[in-house]
Amino acid sequence: MNQPAETLDLHGTFHVYDTTLRDGMQQEGLNPTVADKLAIARQLDGLGVGYIEGGWPGANPKDTEFFRRAAQELDLRHARLAAFGATRRAGMKAADDPLIAALRDSGAGVVTLVAKSHAGHVEKALRTTLEENLAMVRDTVSHLRAEGQQVFLDAEHFFDGYRLDRSYALEVLRTAYDAGADVIALCDTNGGMLPGWVADVVHDVVQTTGVRVGIHCHNDTGCAVANTLAAVDAGATHVQGCINGYGERTGNADLVNVVANLELKLDRQVLPPGLLSEATRIAHAIAEVTNVPPASRQPYVGVSAFAHKAGLHASAIKVDPDLYQHMDPAGVGNDMRLLVSEMAGRASIELKGKELGFDLSEHPEVVTRVTSRVKELESQGYTFEAADASFELLLMEEAEGNRPSYFDVESWRVITETLTHAQPGEEAVSEATVKLTAAGVRYVVTGEGNGPVNALDQALRTAIVQAYPEIAKFELIDFKVRILDQGHGTDAITRVLIETSDGESSWVTVGVGANVIEASWEALVDGLTYGLLRHHVE
């Protein structure tokens, strides 16, 4: 029976165990600093997980340093810190193994040991006997328990080992449990299982051994979350996963998906009340630390998770948002988004206008004009679903009769120069000249950059900032180019998306032209115009 939310024990009858800082960091391209890992740990604690696996002290200097600093710098409100390690080496005592000593000295109250439960791995990878492997498990678990640490055991390659030699795989679990391990996590290390298979094995383990079972799934079949939920349904009371599904190969079970499904779909309270609504913010904050862009289509927390593009959907949402959403996005801290595109109908435009502060319900003629114009522009290569700022400028032009303008451009040009005898590594230099009038003053400004778009950006900003100092806060943070009719080669139509930030938020504008410079100029002008507009500049 689930405990009431107000008395939820994160370390009792059900565990949410995060392994982002250990298993998740094995993802290709992830190499966080100790400071990064400490920052991620604080975010995970804010989500309310019960355990945070910090790494493998003794195996590398970074993880050893993490545990040293964690003891001094982390003030965890919900989670307990777990140190990861392996059972002692063959032929020696756990008390004499320096890696076991590192676990003892880590300061972590919980140790998670990985142990071989696959007979083939014992003989081929460990190169020892099945009996010695059981002794290694027994000795290490009992030693750490005697030292006062709580012990969990990760039964590595368990499901594959179960298929090869069921009796031996189960004996490993019994040995660890009898020695004092509190939880035995069954690991689908190769990620090859399917939900029905996992459920059958977990049910057998629970019924046959009586051990407390956990589950650790990799996503190689795309079933890591489903396999985790199947294990819970079969009796597992400890779930492991990584934020954003990080992990080697195709990743681990996405822990947010697991807990969201448990709480919102299966009505099991597994996090402290109210903290699931922080999931989107935390998932994105951790993505910023790891420098891995959040997956837009990630369930629950992706920016597209509750985005609606089809006009039919928008018409229904206008009546009742639940008609095309499986839940209220606020439950995970996300928002519904309405995308404007050539697929948009009148309802999409009206709802998007309302979202942006324009009540178009009494102005059907404006809705008609905007709908027609969006479809016409998108047929030329524009995209407004990814460029809300450009759409808002378009909407203002149609609804209010004029497009916001803070400056009048007289002309612009850009040249790129490279020296005939330039040395290897020397960059070509671009120079742009912009002539415009802002706040009644004519400016002629030249800017240099490491490319033509950068030079144009520099020149445009230098001119406008004299009239509008707010421009100094703006920064171009992303630049995307798409060739729309590739068969035309170098004379193809080009679309550019530019993301601009003021240090607090960001916005995206779009430009389309016969070349990348022309398209970039349009997106740059819109980006600065929209920035001034949102800063309420007169």
Is residue 140 situated within a structural domain? yes
> Does any domain span residue 458?
no
Helix (H) or strand (E) holding 181: none
Q: Is residue 365 part of a domain?
A: yes
Query: Where does a domain end: 339, 365, 380?
Result: 380
- Assess whether 194 and 340 both reside in one domain: no
Q: Read off the pLDDT of residues 228-264 as tens digits, 9 standing for 90 and up.
A: 999 999 999 999 999 999 999 999 999 999 999 999 9
Pair 209, 72 in one domain: yes
Q: What pLDDT does residue 147 have? A: 95
330 in the same domain as 280: no
User: Residue 409: its pLDDT value, please?
Assistant: 92
Residues of the domain holding 136: 15-290
27 falls within a domain: yes
pLDDT > 80? residue 282 = yes
Cβ neighbours for 407, distance < 8 A, ≥ 6 positions apart: 436, 437, 438, 463, 464, 467
Mean pLDDT of 341-360: 62
Same domain, 311 and 247: no
pLDDT at 1 (0 to 100): 33
Residue 391 lies in a domain: no
From the list 297, 284, 218, 296, the residue with the least C-alpha distance to 251 is 218
Average pLDDT over residues 445-457: 89
Q: Residue 89 sits in a domain of what CATH number?
A: 3.20.20.70
- Residue 226 predicted with pLDDT over 50: yes
pLDDT in tens, 69-121: 999 999 999 999 999 999 999 999 999 999 999 999 999 999 999 999 999 99
- Is 512 a member of any domain? no
| pLDDT at residue number 426 | 63
Q: C-alpha distances in angstroms, 499 versus 387, 389, 451, 463, 496?
A: 9, 10, 17, 20, 10
**Dihedral pair phi/psi, residue 250, rounded to 5°:** -95, 5
- Read off the pLDDT of each residue in 265-285 and give the average, rounded to a whole number: 93
Same domain as 266, residue 123:
yes
Nearest 5°: phi and psi at 157?
A: 55, 35
Token pair belonging to 536: 């309420």
Look at residue 164 in the predicted model and tell me its pLDDT: 94
Average pLDDT estimate for 157-184: 97
pLDDT given at position 379: 74
Determine contact, residues 398/373, Cβ cutoff 8 Å: yes
The last residue of one of the domains, among 380, 398, 429, is 380
Contact residues for 457 (Cβ-Cβ < 8 A; gap 6+): 447, 449, 476, 524
| 45 and 180 in a common domain | yes
Length of the chain: 538
Alpha-carbon distance 305 to 323, whole Å?
15
Nearest one of 350, 305, 310, 312 to 328, comparing CA atoms = 305
- Tell me which residue has tokens 């070509």: 428
CA distances to 184, 416, 430, 445, 495 from 459, in Å: 63, 14, 11, 6, 22
Q: Write out the DSSP string of 170-216.
A: HHHHHHHHHHT-SEEEEEETT----HHHHHHHHHHHHHHH---EEEE
Amino acid letter at 325?
Q
| Region 264-277 average pLDDT | 94
Please report whether residue 420 resides in a domain: no
Per the CB < 8 A criterion, the answer to whether 514 and 493 are in contact is yes
- Residue 416 confidence (pLDDT) above 90: no
Whether 384 and 348 have beta carbons less than 8 Å apart is answered as no
The tally of domains found in the chain comes to: 2
pLDDT of residue 270: 96
How far is Cα 496 from Cα 475, in angstroms, rounded to an integer? 16
Could you tell me which residue, 354 or 491, shows the higher pLDDT?
354
The answer to whether the CB of 278 falls within 8 A of the CB of 331 is no
Mean pLDDT of 142-149: 96
Q: Which helix (H) or strand (E) holds 226?
A: helix 224-233
Identify whether the C-beta of residue 463 lies closer than 8 Å to the C-beta of residue 350.
Answer: no
Please give the Cα distance from 94 to 278 (Å, whole number): 41
Alpha-carbon separation of residue 9 from 14, 16, 82, 180, 322 (angstroms): 8, 11, 17, 21, 33
pLDDT digits (tens, 9 = 90+) for 33-44: 999 999 999 999
User: Which token pair is 164?
Assistant: 């090869």
- One domain, residues 104 and 245: yes
| Cα gap 76→139, rounded to integer Å | 31
What 3-state class would DSSP assign to 392?
A: helix
Q: Are residues 215 and 330 located together in one domain of the fold?
A: no
Could you give the CA distance from residue 533 to residue 65 in angstroms, rounded to a whole number?
A: 47
Instruction: Give CA–CA dist 502/107, Å, rounded.
Output: 42
pTM of the model: 0.71
Q: Give pLDDT, residue 422.
A: 57
Question: End of a domain among 318, 345, 380?
Answer: 380
pLDDT for res 102: 96
pLDDT at 52 over 70: yes
Is the pLDDT at 406 greater than 70, yes or no? yes
Neighbours of 192 (CB within 10 A): 13
Report CA 123 to chain centroid distance, whole Å.
Answer: 39
Q: Strand 494-501 relative to strand 475-483: parallel, antiparallel, unpaired?
A: antiparallel
| pLDDT score of 361 more than 90 | no
At residue 346, the pLDDT reads 57
Highest mean pLDDT among 174-178, 285-289, 294-298: 174-178
CB count in 10 Å sphere of residue 319: 9
How many H helices and E strands in the chain? Answer: 17, 16
pLDDT mean across residues, the chain: 87
Residue with tokens 């002692």: 88
The dihedral sign for the CA sequence 14, 20, 22, 28: positive
Q: Which has more confidence, 352 or 184?
A: 184
Q: Which of 5-9, 65-69, 74-78 has the lowest mean pLDDT?
A: 5-9
Which residues contact residue 116 at a Cβ distance below 8 angstroms, ignoring those fewer than 6 apart?
122, 125, 126, 133, 156, 157, 161, 172
Q: What is the mean pLDDT of residues 471-483?
A: 86
Instruction: Report the share of the chain in percent with pLDDT over 70.
Output: 87
Domain match, 277 and 340 both: no
How large is the average pLDDT for residues 190-208?
A: 97
Q: 254 and 341, same structural domain?
A: no
Instruction: Tell me what pLDDT residue 65 has.
Output: 96
On whether both 277 and 314 belong to a single domain, the answer is: no
In a domain, 242, yes or no: yes
Based on the fold, state whether residues 94 and 220 are members of the same structural domain.
yes
